Chain A
Amino acid sequence: MYTQALNTSDADDRNVEDATRAAAFQARIDADDRIEPNDWMPAAYRKTLTRQISQHAHSEIVGMLPEGNWITRAPTLRRKAALLAKVQDECGHGLYLYAAAETLGTSREELVDAMLTGKAKYSSIFNYPTLTWADIGTIGWLVDGAAIMNQIPLCRCSYGPYARAMIRVCKEESFHQRQGFEIMLTLCRGTDEQKAMAQDALNRWWWPVLMMFGPPDKVSQHSDTSTKWKIKRFSNDELRQKFVDATVPQAQFLGLTIPDPKMKQDEAGHWVPGPIDWDEFKQVLAGNGPCNRDRLAARRKAHDAGAWVREAAAAYAEKRKRRQFAQAAE
């Protein structure tokens, strides 16, 4: 989900690991043991997790941008306070996740730089624009709904710090989805124009949201090792199906139409979506989505504009330390 661009194979690295340690490690995973930062782990496990957790963190941080776009234009004070709180939560989630990623041995500065230089990816979904207020409702309802679907199994992920961060995130995420659904419900019970605005937002977000779960299982390249290491507990297609099954009745309740004329319900009751345009997904991941350049430019601008604050804080801390030493020496 937040790691859609994990497209290099880490499996080869394992050959060079000490086979006995690797076997003992796998035995711990199989026994549902949690792996902690100081424990021995295969280099590929460390690398995969560093990438996955940091991409997840970048997604939370970049995810503030599409919604931040509407804070000053929220229709009421209640909506504005909720949206502000939600965007603050996304920032907090990013920080929990950076802290978890750092325990694997890469510094915060390196992780952030990898995002700013475009080396590290973030979720494709945040490269779409928020054109109307209904987009804010749709993001809460669908994007956060999809995120919850993905994040709940991650609370049981084999890496302790990641699992613990996910527990905190999931507790807070439920408010995000509910506030989004409430916005949609209000629009759908409003004027014809408001309802049309809600339908238009759903039309634009539906397919990109389904793409959030990543490529179909038959072409997903890292699922095998991630599953074996219990980083991933459900496949992309399984999570996507769960999400669609949960969402269709909600759309029906709102009186909105899912923009997929080919969607059918199978005998088991599952809603089976029509074919997903994976070319669009690849384009967005490759940097050619509607907002990729804007998002990175906004992050770089914020990072550069904050440089003097970081420098001043470091200089002040240094000055205080020197003064304390001087006083202690007197």
Chain B
Amino acid sequence: MATPNSPLWEVFIRSRNGLAHKHVGSLHAADATLALQAARDIYTRRGEGLSIWVVPSSAITASDPAEKGMMFEPAESKIYRHPTFYDVPDEVGHM
């Protein structure tokens, strides 16, 4: 029997207190415990992190880059969502 391909995991590392976990890469492991240990060995050999998350890659739903127009255009046309859209006279000072 051929060994089944081992599942793919995405690795996220929190590098410092107060920062978000950031995606650093992926790895293969049979289960979550082994994935966590492998992530420690592969991605934190020089003290890169305080905390690791591993997530099965299959659990991630991604937007289609080909549809980025449809996804993100509505936000691009709403420039009134940015503070710089509004005029405040210089005399008022910083606001």
Contacts and interface: CB of A to CB of B under 8 A. Distances in A.
B30 A314 contact: yes
Contact of B25 (A96, A307, A310, A316): A96
24 contacts: A36-B65, A38-B65, A40-B66, A95-B42, A96-B25, A99-B26, A102-B26, A108-B5, A108-B6, A165-B25, A168-B25, A172-B45, A310-B3, A311-B3, A313-B29, A313-B30, A313-B31, A313-B34, A314-B3, A314-B30, A316-B30, A316-B31, A317-B30, A317-B34
A227 interface: no
A92 interface: yes
B38 to A, nearest CB: 8
Sorted nearest first, the 10 A-B pairs with minimum C-beta distance are: A313-B30, A317-B31, A317-B30, A99-B26, A314-B30, A92-B42, A38-B65, A95-B42, A107-B5, A109-B5
A88 interface: yes
A317 B66 CA distance: 36
Interface string A75-95: 000000000010011001001
Interface string A279-319: 00000000000000000000000000001001101101100
Nearest to B31: A317
A126 B3 CA distance: 29
Contacts of A330: none
Interface of B: 3-6, 8, 25-31, 34, 41-42, 45-46, 62, 64-66
A39 interface: yes
Contact of B3 (A92, A307, A316, A317): A307
B3 A38 contact: no
A92 B5 contact: no
Given A108-B28, A311-B3, A92 B45 contact: yes
Nearest to B24: A168
